[in-house]
Structure 1
Amino acid sequence: SIKIVGVENWGAGGFVKHGDIEKASEGLSERDFKILLSHDPSYWQQNIKSNHKNFQLTLSGHTHGMQFGIEIPGVIKWSPVQYRYKNWAGIYEELGRRINVNRGFGYLGYPGRVGIWPEITVITLKAKDA
């Protein structure tokens, strides 16, 4: 089975910190396969990747890749947002746990994007071989 857990926003810097992973995961064990929905990827860095309940996958967004950047797969992936967020676009793995940060398809301020394309992510989960 898969447990899907969501938290209210918790953001680094001046963003609100309402996310409460302990409350959201009451009744779950370390062995459950859990997917966490957390808007801001900084929550994963500061509170989730080493959490004792072992959240295997976190899905986040928030950064939009700052709507500006350069990406040539396998060559370069750069955006000024990387100076604020360690995890800003794509899949990252630390401590055996993963986060996928989606660039989304919206915007903040400037109604467009330069080099950071809108994104819809498809993730296929597969059972681990016994």
Structure 2
Amino acid sequence: MSDWARAMPTVGAWLAGLLAPDHLAQVHARGSLGVLFADAMTLTAEPDIQEAARRANQRIATVLTDLLAQGRREGSIRADLDPAVGAWWLMSLLASQGFRYSVAPDPAQLEAALGTLTRDLLFPPKDAPAPTG
């Protein structure tokens, strides 16, 4: 995740790619890492698996928090965003896609709308002044 973000011109550009409906569908396609990750979250009755999942999620949250903080510094992420809150929002959005695909009447349209909403929450308004310093 960090390597992919570093390869992009800004954290905002990386997030735009991450939140693209086609990418989200690919991440959650049968047999993908996203599906395996979501499945592991359902195995909370097994203490060892629960602890491993907790540690893995905390590591992902830390990486996302750091990336969002970097995005704030570079101006591609809203200056008023709490990076840790944004990280957990992104993780929650990604983790719940399977639920939406199983019950929403038009999941593809919903995913696109949620991606747009999330970008609006994370990215500075288009008319915002550039950061200084």
**What TM-score, normalized to structure 1?**
0.26
Higher relative contact order by CA 8 Å / sep ≥ 6: 1 or 2? 2
The answer to which structure has the higher strand fraction is: 1
Q: When you count helix as a share of all residues, which structure comes out higher?
A: 2
Q: TM-score if structure 2 supplies the norm length?
A: 0.26
